[in-house]
Amino acid sequence: MIYDIAIIGGGIVGAATLYKMQQRHPELKFVLIEKENMLADHQTGHNSGVIHSGLYYKPGSMKAKNCVDGRRELVAFAKEHKIAHDVCGKVVVATKQSELQHLERIFQNGQANGIEGLERITPSQIKEIEPYVEGIDGLFVGCTGIIDFRGATAKMVEIALSLQPESKLLLNHEVLDIKKGEDICLIITQKGNIQAKHLVFCAGLQADRLAKKDGVNLKEKVVGFRGDYYELSHEAKHKVKNLIYPVPDPNFPFLGVHFTRMTNGDIECGPNAVFTFKREGYGKTDFSLRDTFDALTYRGTWRLFTQNMKYGIDEYRRAFSKKLFLKTLQVMIPSLTMEDIVPGRSGVRALLLREDGDTRDDFRIEYHGKSIHVLNAPSPAATASLSIGGYIADEAQKHFGL
């Protein structure tokens, strides 16, 4: 069979792209190709499960627009299809005077992005929402929530496949190479070849490698950062009601360690952010020679290291020290003890790292011949997935002549 469009990558962005495109074009035959034996098995299935508001992103950026639009669409999708979720709100807590100007900056940012349910709150109001938190100022972000992203991914694919019986999901198919003919693209996998007229790549941690196989002249490289979580013990769960975030340091490209109530009721604390020696490695000692060589022979990696040396050392120390991790958590909830936290899971985030070491690039989606590549879609891509899928569907309509 020759498919009209092949989508490579079965995370939530690939699933949302299939969902959006199949809805618009029920007559077309799609194939979603995923190398693992289940959907959402990497970034989507290992993230914090937070429905982000759009608070932190530069007004007018793709991240800001797609996060706000995508969040609203995702919540409506979850309600309609009974996906486990809760729009419970979160508090952002300043614990020292030096954070107040940054708190005001993200408040203004959120207002510029049109975020509903955003308000400044006093220390006493923080206590009303989260009784165990100590802070000197804060924000309440009412539209933030939690969701089962794996469940949402599976439902998007299920709905899409129900619209066209000849569309397919292929699991356990790792894409090894791409060969482009005049009319047909040949996708070479370890289980045989697949033919399609057009390709959409949503490959996450492997985005740069598959782009190069497709002939994209890409200067940047994907570098992985592992985030480790702790969980609150059963006896300590009452200390967190919903979501609690610190004021992010503007000089560091991550949001900092936070508390998240998951859809199953567990409370996660984290993540930290450390360079990983294996792109799809979730253990602290996981190692891939290829991934390590790729990252450590790239100038951008070393630029990032040198620009963030103190942060990097602190993050690594915390990754191997429960005591130091606890100390970070105690900044917002001083009453936590060593017995209150137990080791949890880990996730890896893909960042398309520029040669100058900059990690704060916007979402990046590019057209290349018969292909569209999602080259950079870090957080909040899961929240924004339906909006990103709609954008890709628009691009396909323009470039593929659908």
pLDDT number for residue 316? 81
Residue located via tokens 């994907």: 222
Residue 253's pLDDT band, with cuts at 50, 70 and 90, is low
User: Within a domain: residue 133?
Assistant: no
User: Within a domain: residue 168?
Assistant: yes
Residues in the chain: 402
Answer positive or negative: Cα dihedral of 75, 53, 147, 133: negative
What is the pLDDT of the chain when averaged over all its residues? 95
Domain count, the chain: 1
Q: Is the pLDDT of residue 250 over 90?
A: no
pLDDT tens digits for 141-166? 999 999 999 999 999 999 999 999 99
Convert 194-223 to b/e letters by CB count within 10 Å (16 or more is b): bebbbbbbbbbbbbbbbbebbebebebbbb
Which of 376, 367, 362 is closest to 216 using CA atoms?
A: 367
Q: How far apart are CA 222 and CA 295, in angstroms?
A: 8
Domain that holds residue 196: 2-45+150-220+361-399
Q: What is the mean pLDDT of residues 316-329?
A: 90
Which of 261, 268, 277 is closest to 226 using CA atoms?
A: 277
User: Within a domain: residue 335?
Assistant: no
pLDDT tens digits for 60-112? 999 999 999 999 999 999 999 999 999 999 999 999 999 999 999 999 999 99
pLDDT number for residue 87? 98
Q: What is the mean pLDDT of residues 168-182?
A: 97
The domain that contains 19 carries what CATH number?
3.50.50.60
User: Within a domain: residue 385?
Assistant: yes
User: Within a domain: residue 164?
Assistant: yes
Q: What is the mean pLDDT of residues 386-390?
A: 98
Phi, psi of 252, deg, nearest 5: -120, 135
User: Within a domain: residue 214?
Assistant: yes
Q: Is the pLDDT of residue 361 over 80?
A: no
Q: Is the pLDDT of residue 226 over 80?
A: yes
Q: Is the pLDDT of residue 227 over 70?
A: yes
pLDDT number for residue 320? 87
The answer to whether residues 349 and 11 touch, using CB atoms and an 8 Å cutoff, is no
Residue 360's pLDDT band, with cuts at 50, 70 and 90, is low
Q: What is the mean pLDDT of residues 242-256?
A: 85
pLDDT number for residue 83? 98
User: Within a domain: residue 171?
Assistant: yes
User: Within a domain: residue 199?
Assistant: yes
Q: What is the mean pLDDT of residues 175-183?
A: 95
Tokens linked to 310: 């103190």
Percent of residues, the chain, with pLDDT higher than 70 = 100
pLDDT number for residue 315? 84
Structure pTM?
A: 0.96
